[in-house]
Amino acid sequence: LEGHLVRKHEWENTTTKATNRSWDKVYCLVKGTQMSFYRDAKNAKSTPDQRFKGEPPLSLRGAQASQAQDYKKKKHVFRLRLESGGEFLFQAHDDNEMNTWISHINTQ
């Protein structure tokens, strides 16, 4: 699964808040148990090793995605909890797209 999402890094791990908590528009690509981020679709296709801000891919092993019911500032937002304790918020275009991401991530 791949597509544009707007991302906010909330937690580095269970105890440390992310230093950069601003929202970034990213192109997301889930391949197997890895989730990678790119500037755009073209980038993801042509240079898959050159990720957004040089970030390594996230491992979706033991990760869980669910709608961020407690986050009221934006709509269609889901939360990704990593096994490491890291947490991200992602805003999709609509609820349908959000649910597609949630179920896809949760079945990896």
Binding residues (CB under 6 A) for ligand I3P: these are: 20-23, 73
28, 35 contact by CB (below 8 A): yes
Q: Shortest gap between Cβ of 6 and ligand I3P (angstroms)?
A: 10
For residues 29 and 15, give the distance between their C-alpha atoms in angstroms, rounded to a whole number. Answer: 27
Q: Which is nearer to ligand I3P, 21 or 75 (CB)?
A: 21
Q: Which is nearer to ligand I3P, 49 or 72 (CB)?
A: 72
For residues 85 and 73, give the distance between their C-alpha atoms in angstroms, rounded to a whole number. Answer: 23
Q: Which is nearer to ligand I3P, 31 or 73 (CB)?
A: 73
The residues that bridge with 3 in the sheet, in sequence order, are 28
